[in-house]
């Protein structure tokens, strides 16, 4: 059973002076986004983010995960419909970053493709405001070494 929340994760790669972010196209959609998925029963958002990264790009949970302050409200119709009943109309989306040590990712069947972008290009490609906000926060934290309680 899915828990009533979403997670959003942006893989990032540091290459000498460049900072790159991976964006993904889901197989059924044509928009670029971070890795997204739902929590499973009993998982807290951090655990769900680790599991989603492992499932969708085959990166072990030992990778450096950064929990962001960005939390958005997502209409259930964009997530999974009314699986939690007709009274649950929006769910929170918790955001994360994950540091990747190789730009070669093995994506799951959920995605048709992925590409690495600079922050500016990634921001142009993103469709959802929640993705843009989370990416801005992640980029800012990395560039300013502000990881807080992450």
Domains recognised in the chain with CATH numbers: 2-143 (3.90.79.10)
Residues 11, 119, 39, 82, Cα dihedral to 10°: -140
Task: From 97, 92, 95, 108, select the one nearest 13 (Cα to Cα).
Answer: 97
The band of 84, judged by pLDDT with boundaries at 50, 70 and 90, is confident
Task: Give the whole-number percent of the chain exceeding pLDDT 70.
Answer: 95
So what's the pLDDT on residue 150? 46
pLDDT digits (tens, 9 = 90+) for 86-120: 888 899 999 999 999 889 898 888 888 999 999 99
So what's the pLDDT on residue 138? 97
């Amino acid at each position: 059973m899915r828990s009533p929340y979403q997670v959003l994760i942006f893989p990032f790669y540091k290459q000498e002076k460049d900072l790159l972010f991976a964006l993904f196209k889901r197989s059924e959609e044509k928009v670029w986004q971070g890795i997204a998925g739902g929590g499973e029963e009993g998982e807290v958002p951090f655990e769900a983010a680790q599991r989603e990264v492992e499932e969708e790009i085959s990166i072990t949970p030992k990778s450096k995960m950064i929990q962001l302050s960005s939390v958005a409200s997502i209409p259930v119709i964009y997530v999974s419909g009314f699986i939690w009943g007709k009274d649950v109309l929006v769910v929170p989306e918790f955001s994360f970053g994950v540091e990747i040590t190789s730009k070669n990712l093995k994506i799951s069947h959920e995605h048709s493709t992925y590409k690495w972008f600079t922050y500016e290009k990634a921001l142009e490609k993103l469709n959802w405001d929640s993705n843009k906000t989370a990416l801005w926060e992640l980029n800012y934290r990395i560039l300013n070494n502000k990881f807080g309680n992450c």
